[in-house]
Amino acid sequence: MPFPVRLRPGSAAAVALGATIVLSGCGAGADSASDGSVTLGFVNGDTSEFAMCLQKAVRTTAKAAGVKVYLANSKMDPGKELSNIEDMISRNVDALIVQTVNVDALEGDIAKAGSANVPIFLTSVATDEVDGILGAAVVDLKKLGALDAGWIKKDAGGKPVDVGIVAGAPGAASDLMVAGFTAALPANAKVVANQPGMFNPVEAQSVAENMIQAHPGLDYAFVANEEMAFAVRKAFDEAGAKDVRIVTENGTDKGLEAVKDGRFSATVANSPQVIGETAVRNTVARLDDEKKADKIARIPLALITKENLDEAPQYCAP
């Protein structure tokens, strides 16, 4: 069943007037209904650089639009995600924007919000059945992985090569990226190791140290984000494996610099700034009138190498 669109009387006018933004974690903040403004709840999935840039984009775009927003972070815990959503419902928000920890957790999230007539707008991923959501700003994570695999295919030139994977945390983003990556690898590329780095540089470095020890002939590594990729690069270099080529994703300023100087061979630019801006704008638009914005917004991706560094979008607002 679709969510009924719920908007407080006078809230569209309040957007134009510019209400004060409210920032909070799970447990503090004033009653969002007190001034009749549009109020959103943003439930973030973790504390990675991507997630923090996404949060910054949500916050600044909301402020510019005169929208009040409460913030919470689930810290990669599906149970915490559900409790954060319950907390946001208790704040009487007009809609929720959710960067989920795990796609499997969304069914419970949507059911909980739906029972309170609070619509959900998703970031990065969407459910297979979209009738139950207000909308989504979607990144094709399988395509993201496939873009990195395509670079390896071209670079390997048909020669047999060994590939290692340092994934993120099991669930949602990482699983989709890895699935897209492995499906797009050519037949001459063999995946010899696939371990989660938990989106944690310390864990990723340990995984990479073990990987290069077990597979000293490794040719390529796919790493699920740049934060981990820097740690993986360090582990490989310290093991004397400076020739292992790393492909990754994000497109941060530091990541682009690493592509420029050769520490990374390629990165897929996936801008949380664009995702966050799109999420707020489309949520507010669809609350007012579902015809004002596409239900599913597709976020563009770009494979960035030394040859096209100038094509990378801004990753994070200053």
Give the pLDDT confidence score for residue 215 in this predicted structure: 99
Give the pLDDT confidence score for residue 32 in this predicted structure: 37
Give the pLDDT confidence score for residue 10 in this predicted structure: 35
Confidence bin at 318 (pLDDT 50/70/90):
confident
Residue with tokens 């030394």: 306
Burial 244-263 (b: 16+ CB within 10 A, else e): bbbbbbbbbeebbebbeeeb
Q: Report CA-CA distances (Å) from 258 to 4, 66, 73, 82, 247.
A: 47, 38, 29, 37, 11
For the stretch 265-294, pLDDT in tens is 999 999 999 999 999 999 999 999 999 999
Confidence bin at 129 (pLDDT 50/70/90):
confident
Give the range among 29-43, 148-162, 240-254 with minimum mean pLDDT.
29-43
Give SS3 for 164.
strand
Do the first three CATH levels of 11-137+271-299 and 141-269 match, i.e. the same topology?
A: yes
pLDDT of 263 strictly over 60? yes
Give the pLDDT confidence score for residue 30 in this predicted structure: 35
For the stretch 109-125, pLDDT in tens is 999 999 999 999 999 99
The predicted model scores a pTM of: 0.81
Higher per-residue pLDDT: 102 or 100: 100
Whether the CB-CB separation of 312 and 256 falls below 8 Å is answered with yes
pLDDT of 17 strictly over 70? no
- Helix 226-238 with 201-214: angle, nearest 10 deg: 40
Domain ranges of the chain: 11-137+271-299, 141-269
pLDDT of 185 strictly over 50? yes
Mean pLDDT, rounded, for 65-77: 96
For domain 141-269, the CATH architecture is 3-Layer(aba) Sandwich (3.40)
Whether the CB-CB separation of 86 and 111 falls below 8 Å is answered with no
Give the pLDDT confidence score for residue 87 in this predicted structure: 98
Give the pLDDT confidence score for residue 104 in this predicted structure: 83
Q: What percent of the chain has pLDDT over 90?
A: 83
Between strands 220-223 and 302-304, the pairing is unpaired
CATH 3.40.50.2300 fits 11-137+271-299, yes or no: yes
Question: How far apart, in whole angstroms, are the C-alpha atoms of residue 184 and residue 199?
Answer: 23
Confidence bin at 211 (pLDDT 50/70/90):
very high
Mean pLDDT, rounded, for 10-38: 39
Give the range among 23-27, 112-116, 160-164, 298-302 with minimum mean pLDDT.
23-27
Give the pLDDT confidence score for residue 317 in this predicted structure: 85
Q: Write down the mean pLDDT value for the chain.
A: 90
Give the range among 102-116, 179-193, 211-225 with minimum mean pLDDT.
102-116
Entry field: residues in the chain:
318
Give the pLDDT confidence score for residue 103 in this predicted structure: 83
Give the pLDDT confidence score for residue 8 in this predicted structure: 31
Give the pLDDT confidence score for residue 170 in this predicted structure: 86
Question: How far apart, in whole angstroms, are the C-alpha atoms of residue 157 and residue 216?
Answer: 21
Question: How far apart, in whole angstroms, are the C-alpha atoms of residue 266 and residue 151?
Answer: 8
Confidence bin at 37 (pLDDT 50/70/90):
confident
* Amino acid letter, 151: W
pLDDT of 72 strictly over 50? yes
Q: What is the DSSP letter of 217?
A: T
